[in-house]
Amino acid sequence: MELFHHHWRAEQAKATLVLIHGTGEHHGRYRHVAQYLNERGYDVRTGDLPGSGRSPGRRGHVERFEDYLTAVRLWMSEARGETGADHPVFLLGHSLGGLIATRYVQVYAEDSGVDGLILSSPCLQLNRSIAAWQLRLVFGLNRMLPKWRLPYEIPPHVVSRDEQVRRQYRQDPYNYPRVSVRWFCELKQAMEAAWQERDKLFVPTLILQAGDDHLVAAEGVKRFAAELPAADKQFVLFPGLYHEIFNEPERLHVLARLREWLDQQTEKRLRGSHS
């Protein structure tokens, strides 16, 4: 499967960021993030996940969660292949991308090639409870009708308080806000695995969490952060912000916190490689 990928280059890159988008969207919604980082010396590599954006695959569907990890493995390999061993490479994931980034580092561990992990409103716990009977029904359907679309989609008004972002979200032809039964089951199992293997996250980690998140449980993410074994970790809560913190009216404040952390980690990494 030939996945769509893109590289936003800085003039003189001091580090590289590999970016993973969220559910039902695509890499193009992070152009402004890449531009901000390019102007401050960071290359940004990204792409569209299987079944998303310009990549092939059934929209809103994945056969195995590992297919997402394979995509990230490709992007990470491209980033590492173009730079030297001393060049820092960071992994950033938003929402579903945050869960994928988490599982990627857990699964590949020391072979991940990740010098630092950034999670943006990561999908580690949903902000709505699902009854046991509903879960049994969905997992039952997964055996018989895995590609059936669930009767729920992400409404634009919960992703951002910015009206222009909401309007663009509705009109974007590459967005697809519905998911399949199989996708949901794979997501649920991946979330459980992320919690079970949280003791494997030792890389420097920054978690940026929306305070008024209608999709992800902020308290759950906060607890996940507190239980990570990483000696170098930060959890930053943005009170009042909706799920897509990089698309909120306060986005420049969020980007500044990201840039501050990246600068600190890059300096540490480069200083360590020359000592």
pLDDT at 4: 93
Verify whether residue 273 is a known catalytic residue.
Answer: no
Cβ neighbour number for residue 199 with a 10 Å cutoff: 10
pLDDT-based confidence at residue 171 (cuts at 50, 70, 90): very high
pLDDT at 68: 98
Task: Give the pLDDT mean for 150-166.
Answer: 93
Residue 131 pLDDT greater than 80, yes or no: no
Which is catalytic among the residues 43, 48, 115, 213?
213
Measured in degrees and rounded to the nearest 5, phi and psi for residue 205 equal -135, 135
Spatial distance between the Cα atoms of 48 and 164, rounded to a whole number of angstroms:
23
Please tell me the total count of domains within the chain: 1
Verify whether residue 213 is a known catalytic residue.
Answer: yes
CA-CA-CA-CA torsion sign (95, 98, 104, 106)? negative
Residue 64 pLDDT greater than 60, yes or no: yes
Residue 84 pLDDT greater than 80, yes or no: no
Least confident of 106-120, 128-142, 172-186, 239-253: 128-142
pLDDT at 82: 82
Q: Mean pLDDT over all residues of the chain?
A: 95
Q: What is the CATH number of the domain that holds 161?
A: 3.40.50.1820
Task: Give the pLDDT mean for 65-78.
Answer: 96
For 254, the domain range is 5-273
Which is catalytic among the residues 52, 55, 95, 120?
95
Q: Letter for the amino acid at 246?
A: F
Residue 261 pLDDT greater than 70, yes or no: yes
Verify whether residue 95 is a known catalytic residue.
Answer: yes
pLDDT-based confidence at residue 274 (cuts at 50, 70, 90): low
Which is catalytic among the residues 26, 61, 87, 243?
243
Q: Tell me the per-residue pLDDT of 26-62, one tens digit each, with 9 for 90 and over.
A: 999 999 999 999 999 999 999 999 999 999 999 999 9
Torsion of CA 20, 267, 264, 49, to 10 degrees: 0
pLDDT at 85: 77
pLDDT at 1: 67
Task: Give the pLDDT mean for 69-75.
Answer: 96
- Provide the whole-model pTM: 0.96
Q: Tell me the per-residue pLDDT of 231-255, one tens digit each, with 9 for 90 and over.
A: 999 999 999 999 999 999 999 999 9
Q: What percent of the chain has pLDDT over 90?
A: 86
Q: Tell me the per-residue pLDDT of 1-25, one tens digit each, with 9 for 90 and over.
A: 689 999 999 999 999 999 999 999 9
pLDDT-based confidence at residue 275 (cuts at 50, 70, 90): low
